[in-house]
Structure 1
């Protein structure tokens, strides 16, 4: 078998081993024994007849992948993450250039990466040596406050927190992403918690490059509009900071969002430019390739050497090596070597969305580009080439896009033909500008101005293309089995013929009637699957310290009760980045009713973000003074607002949603609560067949007592009020509600102590099965009206 095929199989086997080890638990000793047996078998086969050693060697790579995964997830006994939950004093060295983000006025948020070296827990007198990295977020209130710098020896005191994200299906696992960077814990607080022990006085190329980038960005901002400067900074160095949200949305809608972060496209552009110059100026091949390699390395360094940049640069360098060896046809082998090397170094990269998209798209270009060009041979070459690039890349990563984003940009084909060449020109001019600006600032500024004009054209074109109707289509997540079937069919269409299967054209020519019948049956099957009623599902989404409940009826109509929301001054939009992706993951393309129990930030803070991402038909609001989150929702777009009142009800697919109690019950409460509050929280009941769900928002004991006076019917599932606070879920209320299940939506390790032990004890005393989003992630109940099943995201 050819070397290329061996490398491809080895890489695939290693990746499959990592995936299987993550899916199921395996004894490490068993894997070691299996690896030893495969080593012996492989050596014996190689000695006897090397041609018969293929499968034992591939099996060895498979087991090696499993072993590497186990090694990667092991936590050392001296890791700093083992002290999470304790108040500690940590001494260490800042291992990265601090990231500074302005908040408002003089306030700044600084993110540090601390390499921990020593720790002293509260009450201890002796420091313990530790390993591992910590992410520290510190807020500086004064503009004159000077943050610590890279390389400084510092001490930090505070509560060490465990890493925790939003545990929902389809969500990008940010905890795993941090652990891949060696970060195992986090801290946050004010500037006084961190003190510099010894300033770093040595030479640091990271600091030099960071300062150089800052000077370049300052130069851009002096001659360009703020948004243009932010976009040029993004396409040259990566990062979305300072870019208007509408611009990011337009880039996403046109399939060009990858341009705003340094990736393989940027590396390929640099290599392509130098190769073109080499041909024009008649440089020798060795000199051209060497210059291109140096340019790739330099560009990777000034871009910050982030993992995606390193992967792209490594792939570019291996491709250049193939050019030197005059083996351009070895592109598949180069891809396999790069992927295998990266996975051996960091096995958990297999689960990284950036890794999946970058290598998937590159594989598409390697294997599908030329066949696609051949398919489009009758098209003009200026159109066939760019279209083939887009098709090859998009088809190869479609299941990944479906899983994480549930949408596909049809307009991306036009955008890659119309807009991408302009963006590439902007990148070339921008790179030339920053180089010239270093030597001749005036000349650099002229180039920046030209780039700004082109960026204006790019924004205009993307805005026009994004506004085209149906430019963005929904695609459902198809899972691992569906993805396997998809890639099997894709490979078959592109010429792979396992088991001597005939190709698509041959099938149609030889059995036209059978193919037509199969197409009709497939269409009927899909139609029945889509139209046939499914069970009711009620989702309690993990939104941290907040509430968000999604109800999907048998025919796919959706009701969203509350939207979560981050507390404090965080600019993280939980509605746009957690709730909306969750809804899209489950096929929700429109919300029939958005109900806000009350206007507090942790219940309504994500409403505007959700409404901006998904069409909302009706909004039910409590009769209270509109809070800032509700005002933001109403400003986001025209909405049909319905005031909530007690006794209100509507029916969707035999699912009855009723307002058991609204905030209009107590005029005294309404007058005393300036912008509403927990006391005016609406109570919603969702009924279907023999089961009902009681959603109580932040209802307090006073509100519960008011509800009991009306006669409260029993429920099957209770969403515990106020995140499990001791002032809610009283004994009389529990006796009347008599739930079999209870769901508590609370933030992991929240500062309020929710859920309170007294509340948990009251629930336990009645033998109510309790599910918690802070421990089990999203909780999904499924019912056909008779049976009821529950599935937590974390088992």
Structure 2
């Protein structure tokens, strides 16, 4: 009988005091996620390096660089980082060993203090990649092999690595490190040149791919930004890092149409130049109000409406024999002889359709 007395007394005590029994392990109800407003702002610089990628991320006094342009962009990268007051990079990510992503990285490593470098686990024998490895060795920096599921913090921002998710790929692009930067209620997804195979792996893994801003994969190639992936990300803004005149026809028409159908606002470095997007944890804005294109004179952003007396647009959109989509404003030198495939009322409307402004 004694073995029943103590539990009985405990039950009576609980009834009297109003105490409940301790919870046991088992299914737990979902706990509402409380998002604390982060301090300061997160700045993401999509640097205009032509047909290449280079992205600087800043929060508080910390900075991360994702890719560094072509070999010829080393000096530009060093100068740009200096202009932003960068003295140390907490993290450098080389998404994959192609020259248009890691070309200027050896110069960056030589000129700045770097705490940690992430590279995909793949060997590449090019001189460009070896230059990066030599620069790392000279500073006694060992690379961290990136793979899906890793994460770290950058100031008040959280960085998650979502790819690569396999040990080997046929295409070097699919080794690309994909990173998601979350800051308060906002997020940026940076995809390198990851193709549809890598995108499908991320979906299968069940990663939270949702982001306000998508850095479009592989410069807008049809080999990336599949329909399922775009739906999973559901971005409001897309940034395409690309040269105005390139040998690949980037960005490809089907990708621009896919983004347009999904009502995504598209920016191209070929048209807008270096873009600085700023998040306060709740909203994202474009910092620079002047649009600059690499190697050209800065152009003031034009918000004018060009229409005739019947409210028909007067901006001519032309697709040339190379497939380049170019728009011409009334008064430009080649306007009269340009045969239009489309008409627009504003420059923003033309840009959203994938056209770039004619130089004359």
The answer, yes or no, to whether TM exceeds 0.5 is yes
**SS of residue paired to 1:702:** helix
Q: Distance in 1 between matches of 2:97 and 2:168?
A: 18
Q: Is the 8 A contact 1:599 1:630 kept in 2?
A: yes
Unaligned runs of 5+ in 2: 1-38, 292-300, 302-360
1:708 is aligned to 2:203: yes
Q: Is the 8 A contact 1:694 1:717 kept in 2?
A: yes
Q: How many angstroms does 1:765 deviate by?
A: 0.5
Q: How many angstroms does 1:790 deviate by?
A: 1.3
Indicate how the Cα distance of structure 1 residues 627 and 688 shifts in structure 2: closer, same or farther if over 3 A, else same. farther
More strand, by proportion: 2
**SS of residue paired to 2:239:** strand
1:770 is aligned to 2:266: yes
User: What residue in structure 2 maps to residue 578 of structure 1?
Assistant: 76
Q: Distance in 2 between matches of 1:627 and 1:775?
A: 34
Q: Distance in 1 between matches of 2:117 and 2:223?
A: 29
Indicate how the Cα distance of structure 1 residues 601 and 631 shifts in structure 2: closer, same or farther if over 3 A, else same. same
CA RMSD of aligned residues (A): 1.7
Q: Distance in 1 between matches of 2:67 and 2:175?
A: 14
**SS of residue paired to 1:693:** strand
Q: Distance in 2 between matches of 1:721 and 1:584?
A: 27
User: What residue in structure 1 maps to residue 43 of structure 2?
Assistant: 537
Q: How many angstroms does 1:711 deviate by?
A: 2.0
Q: How many angstroms does 1:761 deviate by?
A: 0.3
Q: How many angstroms does 1:535 deviate by?
A: 1.2
1:666 is aligned to 2:162: no
Indicate how the Cα distance of structure 1 residues 616 and 627 shifts in structure 2: closer, same or farther if over 3 A, else same. farther
Task: Map residues 431-580 of structure 1 onto 2, 5 A cutoff.
Answer: 534-553=40-59, 555-566=60-71, 572=72, 574-575=73-74, 577-580=75-78
Q: Distance in 1 between matches of 2:259 and 2:153?
A: 31
User: What residue in structure 2 maps to residue 686 of structure 1?
Assistant: 181
Q: Is the 8 A contact 1:694 1:719 kept in 2?
A: yes
Q: Distance in 2 between matches of 1:718 and 1:627?
A: 31
Q: Distance in 2 between matches of 1:582 and 1:605?
A: 15
Render the CA deviation track for 1:410-430: whole Å, top value 9, x for unaligned. xxxxxxxxxxxxxxxxxxxxx
Q: Distance in 2 between matches of 1:694 and 1:627?
A: 29
Q: How many angstroms does 1:630 deviate by?
A: 2.8
Task: Map residues 775-794 of structure 1 onto 2, 5 A cutoff.
Answer: 775-792=271-288, 793-794=290-291
Q: Is the 8 A contact 1:659 1:682 kept in 2?
A: yes
Q: Distance in 2 between matches of 1:544 and 1:719?
A: 15
Q: Distance in 1 between matches of 2:104 and 2:279?
A: 28
**SS of residue paired to 1:758:** helix
More helix, by proportion: 1
Render the CA deviation track for 1:571-602: whole Å, top value 9, x for unaligned. x3x12x21111111111111110001101000
Q: Distance in 1 between matches of 2:157 and 2:124?
A: 29
Q: Is the 8 A contact 1:697 1:722 kept in 2?
A: yes
Q: How many angstroms does 1:661 deviate by?
A: 1.2
User: What residue in structure 2 maps to residue 750 of structure 1?
Assistant: 246
TM-score (normalised: structure 2): 0.66
Q: How many angstroms does 1:717 deviate by?
A: 0.3
Q: How many angstroms does 1:646 deviate by?
A: 1.3
Q: 1:590 aligns with which of 77, 80, 88?
A: 88
**SS of residue paired to 2:187:** strand
Q: Is the 8 A contact 1:745 1:772 kept in 2?
A: yes
- The structure with the largest alpha-carbon Rg is 1
1:643 is aligned to 2:149: no
Q: 1:631 aligns with which of 114, 130, 146?
A: 130
Task: Map residues 240-389 of structure 1 onto 2, 5 A cutoff.
Answer: none
Indicate how the Cα distance of structure 1 residues 697 and 744 shifts in structure 2: closer, same or farther if over 3 A, else same. same
Q: How many angstroms does 1:726 deviate by?
A: 1.2
Q: Is the 8 A contact 1:550 1:560 kept in 2?
A: yes
1:695 is aligned to 2:195: no
Q: How many angstroms does 1:634 deviate by?
A: 2.0
Render the CA deviation track for 1:143-193: whole Å, top value 9, x for unaligned. xxxxxxxxxxxxxxxxxxxxxxxxxxxxxxxxxxxxxxxxxxxxxxxxxxx
Q: How many angstroms does 1:728 deviate by?
A: 1.0
Q: Distance in 2 between matches of 1:718 and 1:741?
A: 6
Q: Is the 8 A contact 1:599 1:627 kept in 2?
A: no
Task: Map residues 116-155 of structure 1 onto 2, 5 A cutoff.
Answer: none
Task: Map residues 143-292 of structure 1 onto 2, 5 A cutoff.
Answer: none
Indicate how the Cα distance of structure 1 residues 581 and 690 shifts in structure 2: closer, same or farther if over 3 A, else same. same
Q: Distance in 1 between matches of 2:245 and 2:129?
A: 27
Which has the bigger relative contact order, CA under 8 A and spacing at least 6? Answer: 2
Residue correspondences, number: 249
Render the CA deviation track for 1:428-473: whole Å, top value 9, x for unaligned. xxxxxxxxxxxxxxxxxxxxxxxxxxxxxxxxxxxxxxxxxxxxxx
User: What residue in structure 1 maps to residue 113 of structure 2?
Assistant: 615
Q: Distance in 2 between matches of 1:745 and 1:592?
A: 23
Q: Is the 8 A contact 1:600 1:627 kept in 2?
A: no
Q: How many angstroms does 1:668 deviate by?
A: 4.4
User: What residue in structure 1 maps to residue 155 of structure 2?
Assistant: 653
Indicate how the Cα distance of structure 1 residues 641 and 667 shifts in structure 2: closer, same or farther if over 3 A, else same. closer
Q: Distance in 2 between matches of 1:689 and 1:596?
A: 25
Q: Distance in 2 between matches of 1:718 and 1:544?
A: 18
Q: How many angstroms does 1:682 deviate by?
A: 1.4
**SS of residue paired to 2:64:** strand
Q: How many angstroms does 1:702 deviate by?
A: 1.4
TM-score (normalised: structure 1): 0.31
